Amino acid sequence: MATLLVISDIHGNWPALQAIREEADAVVCLGDIVSYGPFPRECVAWVSARAAYVIRGNHDTALSHGGDSGAAAHKRELALATLAQHRLQLSADELAWLRDLPTEAAFRLDDYRFHAVHAAPTDHLFSYRITPDLADEELKKEVADVRADIVLLGHTHLPMSRGAWTKVVLNPGSVGQPLDGDPRASYAVVRDGMAEIRRVSYDIEATIAGIREMGLADDATEALVTILRTGRSVEPR
């Protein structure tokens, strides 16, 4: 049976992405490779070389297409500041690669059908509705029209694996900026239809050192550092 590595919301955190050493037959990335973190080029290079399926997230879209990232209100300034940095770091070819990514993908692995989006089947880029505490009936409505055995999505930075009728809805959590109180990088592995969310420690201080070199305002820098160290979202002071 083939093994699928599922990653999402890397957010320019190269030390976190590097720490994932799973052996897998295929990799799917559910978007938001950029924004917030200090190492977008390394993350784009890794994903473009390794992932068989890559979905464009809301931050990838804001960087490559322009417009608002749709980040939560208290993180919008952090997104704007770091996306401006990433725009300077990425080449025209790298921006074009992000721009051309799809917002959904359907594929098969072994006998299982997968459907991948960044946020939700009903809103590929911006919906925050599908969270671990969403009521069962509401979750079923969100994925009712999806023809798949396993629905893959990210965006909330909150890992979950839940049943919805005959489907499994899997969010691997965030590689680069977890928000569930556990600062370790979060990802998932699927084998023979069984999904397992896994965590791995990484060199957070290396990422923090990179953030401090980005030249952001002090309050933005400290907000990003606190998020990484605590695994929780905070409002910048």
Contact by Cβ (8 Å): 185, 202: yes
In a domain, 77, yes or no: yes
In this prediction, residue 73 carries a pLDDT of 80
Other Cβ atoms closer than 10 A to 110: 13
Number of domains the chain contains: 1
User: What's this model's pTM, rounded to 2 decimal places?
Assistant: 0.96
Residue 126 per-residue DSSP state = T
| 3-state DSSP assignment of residue 69 | coil
C-alpha closest to that of 57 among 24, 86, 19: 86
Q: Which amino acid is at 91?
A: S
Distance separating alpha carbons of residues 14 and 31, to the nearest angstrom: 15
In a domain, 237, yes or no: no
In a domain, 40, yes or no: yes
Band of residue 236 on the pLDDT scale cut at 50, 70, 90: very low
Residue 237 has pLDDT above 50, yes or no: no
In a domain, 235, yes or no: no
175-217 confidence digits (pLDDT tens): 999 999 999 999 999 999 999 999 999 999 999 999 999 999 9
Q: Which domain holds residue 199?
A: 3-230
Contact by Cβ (8 Å): 35, 224: no
Residues above pLDDT 90, as percent of the chain: 92
In a domain, 201, yes or no: yes
In this prediction, residue 71 carries a pLDDT of 85
76-132 confidence digits (pLDDT tens): 899 999 999 999 999 999 999 999 999 999 999 999 999 999 999 999 999 999 999
The CATH number that applies at residue 41 is 3.60.21.10
* Strands annotated E in 138-221: 150-152, 160-164, 167-171, 185-191, 194-200
Residue 235 has pLDDT above 70, yes or no: no
Mean pLDDT, rounded, for 139-147:
96
Residues above pLDDT 70, as percent of the chain: 99
Other Cβ atoms closer than 10 A to 105: 17
